[in-house]
Amino acid sequence: MSSIGRSSNNNRSAGAKAKKLSGYLEFSSWLLTLFAMLTQMSVKFSFPSYNVALGFWGAYCAFSSNGRATFGFITFSFIGIILDIIFCSINGSDTTEFKFCLAMLIICLFIKIYALYYASLFFASIGGASSFEKDENLNESMYDSLVGSLSGSGGYYPPESNNMGNSTSSFVAADDDQRGESSED
């Protein structure tokens, strides 16, 4: 078998792995959304509501296979886990309503850990940091298209030594003149 045939089989298996992992991420995201909504059942106590947004964000990542969105989900899930632990350690009440919402928040915490694990595996399966460079249609990323637009006519040109007008030595000389030193010695 040629190396081309093996490469296409590896791409198919990588695609199948990414699809399977996106299914786990989607399931955990919808589950996180459900339990985050149950956390908001309290009328007297305010529980963190960012878990609802994280659930929808995770579902978007599973559907879009966007590397930047998935990396953002991983980052904010990790921050959310820390904030959930802080919230659980600071707040407390003996009412059954609070205990129910706290139990739902703790379940959200475990679901978020599960989602974080599968989001990390999914992020690695779609290319990890290299998924920032190109999308699935081989189009340029937003950063690359911005850099490409800068090189066209009529675009903004960032300061470089060949288009600044003054060289670095003229800035040094002007700086020396301000201190009272002459660069003509």
Report the mean per-residue pLDDT for the chain.
75
According to the model, what pLDDT value does residue 145 have? 40
Entry field: residues in the chain: 185
- Identify the CA nearest to 99 among candidates 150, 54, 44, 60: 44
Determine the average pLDDT of the residues in 16-38.
89
- Identify the CA nearest to 122 among candidates 79, 52, 58, 78: 58
d(CA 57, CA 30): 10
**Which percentage of the chain shows pLDDT scores above 90?**
29
Between the alpha carbon of residue 158 and those of residues 5, 72, 145, 154, 161, the distances in Å are 45, 28, 15, 13, 10
Q: What is the pTM of this model?
A: 0.63
Is it the case that residue 141 has pLDDT exceeding 60? no
Q: Which residues contact 34 (CB under 8 A, 6 or more apart)?
A: 55
Determine the average pLDDT of the residues in 63-89.
90
Determine the average pLDDT of the residues in 62-89.
90
According to the model, what pLDDT value does residue 149 have? 44
86 burial level (CB within 10 Å; 0-12, 13-18, 19+)? exposed
Please report the DSSP string for 18-76 in residue order. HHHHHHHHHHHHHHHHHHHHHHTT-SSS----HHHHHHHHHHHHHHH--HHHHHHHHHH
- Identify the CA nearest to 108 among candidates 65, 146, 51, 152: 51
Is it the case that residue 83 has pLDDT exceeding 80? yes
Between 131 and 135, name the one with better pLDDT: 131
Q: Please check whether residue 105 is in contact with residue 47, taking contact to mean a CB–CB distance below 8 angstroms.
A: yes
d(CA 75, CA 143): 20
